[in-house]
Copies of this chain bind each other. A is one copy, B any other.
Amino acid sequence: MVEGDKIVSEIIKQEPARIEQLFLTANWLKRSGLSSGQKSALPIIILKPGEMERISSFRSPPEAIALIQIPHYKLKVDEIAGKLSLVLDKVQDPGNLGNIIRIADWFGIDNIICSADCADCFNPKVLQSSMGSIMRIRIHYTGLGILLQKLTQLPEFGIYGTFPQASDIYTADLLPKGIIVMGNESKGITSELLPFIRERISIPCFLHRSGKIDSLNVAAATAIICSEFMRRRR
């Protein structure tokens, strides 16, 4: 269930075939700019604002809600072997996950592989913060230990993990094919995955104050790391 005026517009434009049902207010439909042809092709149910409030999971209900098919992707090591992917180890905040999906979309990363204990990517908050990028990224949930073990057998394939103190991301050798493992918001990468990490990288802290800060938010760190990988590729 995808809620929100903007994200529903985007889904109608990009992935109309995946829509099972659209719940819209009459007002939203009028403003939508949809042609009468489009309108008749879509499974629209008009609801009153009070009815939207009853089905919405948000405190202030949107004027558009879509039910979409949950996609199921097959995780193929061969595909992962040929490109850069993100691996999320217990990223639990839905806003962070949504944001990371959007970052992956921006940087042309096709696959995000999540540990089974990551936030659910179909959680309404993830959907909302992913802003439609969820429709384009292949998100997989799997046991990371087994996958990483398989990936260590690939030649010229980077298995990067982020750590508080490690090789400076700006000068580290970054391969175009590989995975970037991002850890849990407060605990970092699970100890059982550590043996599989080939290169430990970190974003240098430029703090010149006496205070110490913990770490960057995991989505901000993902943005910086993906940006640096992509900068090198050009």
Contacts and interface: CB of A to CB of B under 8 A. Distances in A.
B216 A219 contact: no
Interface string A27-63: 0000000000000000000000000000000000000
Interface stretch (A64-72, A100-108, A155-163, A193-201): A100-108
Interface residues of A, number: 41
Contacts of A103: 216-217, 220
Interface of A: 6, 10, 14, 95, 99, 102-103, 105-108, 129, 131-133, 135-136, 170, 186, 203-209, 211, 213-214, 216-217, 219-221, 223-224, 227-228, 230-231, 234
Given A129-B217, A220-B220, 8 more contacts: A6-B186, A105-B207, A106-B203, A108-B206, A136-B213, A223-B224, A224-B224, A224-B227
